Chain A
Amino acid sequence: MSKNDENQIERRLKVLSQIEPSPRATERAMQRVRDTLIGERSRQSAGARIWRTVFKSPIAKLAAAAVLLIAVGYATGRLSAPEPLDVEELKASLESSLKSSLEPAIRQDLLEQMDDRWQSAFADGIAQIKEELQRQVRRDLTEFAAQTLAASGSLTNQRLMELIQLIEAARIKDRERIETAFKQIEINQTQLGKSLLAMASRTNELLDIKEN
């Protein structure tokens, strides 16, 4: 905001602060409020004033005394006279007697009905629970069997694989032993051949000697 605008605000506030209502208007407003306040006070005290005025006059005093006497006489008459049939009271007593006689029976009936309902509901509930339980057990057993079967199948496969591996190892070992044996036989054959050759040559030599 510019300095100019600030000055404007200050100027406006100054103008506002200098506004003065006319003395006549001020006086009128204050008088109006004063009248209202005094009027309210006079309204409040008016009630008390009326009573004071009434009891100042002797005729009014006599009239008030007569009214009071009549009222007392009426009240005494009402109190001493036999009480008339009070319909409301009769109605109330009838209501209470009916209530006292009917209430236990209604309560008993209500309780029995409630019991019946509870029992039938309970029986239904038990049958339903039993059926549900059976179904659940069956489902669990089937699942368990399937799981066991799957587990045993995999175990069998594992054992078979192990067996195959053992057989294979044994076969390899046998083959090696046979090969060693064949090699030994071959060596023995060679030696035998050599021995036979040596023996043949010796025999030939002996034969030659003999012929000579």
Chain B
Amino acid sequence: MRDRQKELLELLDKSGANLYALLTRLTLREDVAEELMQELFIKLSNSRRFDKAGNRQAYARRAVINLAFDWRRSRKRNPLRLEQVREPASNDSSPLSKLVRTEELDEILNAISRLKGACREAFVMRYIQEEPYDYIAEQLGKSTHQVRAMCSKALNHLRNMLGHNRQKSSGKETHNVKK
């Protein structure tokens, strides 16, 4: 038990900042990222699979991605109340542009959340963490070629999803005009 806590503290020192940054990128909220970071380490300290995992860092990253997308899904089910809305993480200053940008990013993150398992992990590592293909392949235990294929497939899915959403919303508008 003590060994595991030592390992977790080592993991925190080594990858904690990266994991927190990833959580912030996926949730767009520092406060939520902090909560999820806490939850992550509590889960890891109680997880038997973590002990058995060959690559603990990869295991923790996968857990981060799952936690963040679960949070996004739960947020969709329970829409935010006004008092819960905090300022999103963004580099722009104008409130309107901040809002627009957050909505845009939310849209793409929701689309990413609909991707499956390893495909989603590879995509997040490549496009959000900007990791090189070789590193991703090593972390996922796949070949570089496979990772490239997975990322390309995921990007296509994303294009289709976002294109479909756009068509749906434009269809709605036309319908409203006709009425």
A148 within 8 A of B: no
For A13, list chain B residues within 8 Å (CB).
108, 127-128
The stretch of A27-35, A54-62, A102-110 in contact with B is A27-35
Q: Which residues A2-27 have CB closer than 8 A to chain B?
A: 5-6, 8-9, 12-13, 15-22, 25-26
Is the CB–CB distance between B109 and A26 below 8 Å?
Answer: no
- Which residue of chain A is the closest to B104 with respect to CB atoms? A12
B67 within 8 A of A: no
Is the CB–CB distance between A9 and B159 below 8 Å?
Answer: yes
Q: What is the bound-complex CA distance between A38 and B101, given in angstroms? A: 39
Q: What is the bound-complex CA distance between A36 and B104, given in angstroms? A: 35
Is the CB–CB distance between B160 and A20 below 8 Å?
Answer: no
Is the CB–CB distance between A37 and B105 below 8 Å?
Answer: no
For B155, list chain A residues within 8 Å (CB).
9
From B108, B163, B166, contact of A12 by CB (8 A): B108
For B89, list chain A residues within 8 Å (CB).
19, 21
For B34, list chain A residues within 8 Å (CB).
25, 28-29, 32
Flag A139-155 by CB within 8 Å of B: 1 or 0 each.
Answer: 00000000000000000
Q: Quick one: given A19-B90, A37-B5, are A30 and B108 in contact (CB under 8 Å)?
A: no
Is the CB–CB distance between A1 and B162 below 8 Å?
Answer: yes
- Interface secondary structure of B, over-half rule: helix
For A8, list chain B residues within 8 Å (CB).
104
Q: What is the bound-complex CA distance between A6 and B159, given in angstroms? A: 7
Is the CB–CB distance between A19 and B130 below 8 Å?
Answer: no
B2 within 8 A of A: yes
Is the CB–CB distance between B129 and A30 below 8 Å?
Answer: no
Is the CB–CB distance between B25 and A9 below 8 Å?
Answer: no
A210 within 8 A of B: no
Is the CB–CB distance between B105 and A16 below 8 Å?
Answer: yes
Q: Quick one: given A1-B159, A1-B160, are A33 and B41 in contact (CB under 8 Å)?
A: yes
Q: What is the bound-complex CA distance between A36 and B46, given in angstroms? A: 13
Is the CB–CB distance between A36 and B41 below 8 Å?
Answer: yes
Is the CB–CB distance between A9 and B108 below 8 Å?
Answer: yes
Q: Which residues B87-128 have CB closer than 8 A to chain A?
A: 89-91, 101, 104-105, 107-109, 127-128
Flag B40-61 by CB within 8 Å of A: 1 or 0 each.
Answer: 0110010000000000000000
Q: Quick one: given A5-B159, A37-B9, are A21 and B20 in contact (CB under 8 Å)?
A: yes
For A132, list chain B residues within 8 Å (CB).
none
Q: Quick one: given A16-B25, A30-B12, are A37 and B30 in contact (CB under 8 Å)?
A: no
Q: What is the bound-complex CA distance between A40 and B42, given in angstroms? A: 10
For B38, list chain A residues within 8 Å (CB).
29, 32-33, 36
- Which residue of chain A is the closest to B92 with respect to CB atoms? A15
- Which residue of chain B is the closest to A13 with respect to CB atoms? B127
B147 within 8 A of A: no
Is the CB–CB distance between B159 and A40 below 8 Å?
Answer: no
- 4 more CB-based (< 8 A) A-B contacts, given A13-B127, A15-B105, A41-B5: A1-B162, A16-B108, A26-B16, A37-B8
Chain B residues with a Cβ under 8 A of chain A: 1-2, 5, 8-9, 12, 16-17, 20-21, 24-25, 28, 30, 33-34, 37-38, 41-42, 45, 89-91, 101, 104-105, 107-109, 127-130, 155, 158-160, 162-163, 166
